[in-house]
Amino acid sequence: MLKLPPEMRSELKKPLGDLYSSLNQALSRLSPEDFIISVGDVTTKNLVDHGIYPRLAIIDHRIQRKKSNQKITYPAKILKAENPPGTITRDLWETIEDALQLISKSSENFLIIVNGEEDLAVLPCILLSPDDSVILYGQPHEGLVMLKSGDVKNKAENLIKKFEEE
């Protein structure tokens, strides 16, 4: 398990990609051909409400650490992973890796429901996904972050190296 060191919290609060105040602002940059990964309940729900179905979505039924009653339903196979707050577990990492491998062989979408917290799942998504993948995630109180994984793989690798192994 990788644990987020307390001194890195502020570094990870900075967007890893382009910050938009809303999904509507970012929609013009999305294309139907994009391989979309979404992390977070609000981001995923907003995409689905706009008829955009992420190939991989990761949610935890929580919004800013409070239980969420939002229903997120779209055609997707559901996988589950355990991941306590402030960590990236082997279970979460391997579930993301398995989902991406299954997606590469089929036209199915996958939804990973995390028991715990999905906030740090963006990092393994960046490292494990194809370089042209578009990843979207929420930036609390600011909006939505959109990035292409290939543009930030080195940055994600450097961040992961600073995590503590447990």
Question: Does the structure show a pLDDT above 70 at 31?
Answer: yes
Check the CA dihedral 30-141-153-104 and report its sign.
negative
Q: Enter the pTM of the model.
A: 0.95
Question: Does the structure show a pLDDT above 80 at 28?
Answer: yes
Which residue segment(s) compose the domain that 92 sits in?
Answer: 2-165
- pLDDT tens-digit readout, 131-140: 999 999 999 8
Which residue in the block uniquely carries the two structure tokens 């013009």? 28
Rounded Cα gap, residues 109 and 120, in angstroms: 21
Q: Which of 146, 128, 166, 162 is nearest to 6 (CA)?
A: 162
Tally the domains of the chain: 1
pLDDT-derived band of residue 65, with 50, 70 and 90 as boundaries?
Answer: low
Q: What is the structure's pLDDT at 68? A: 76
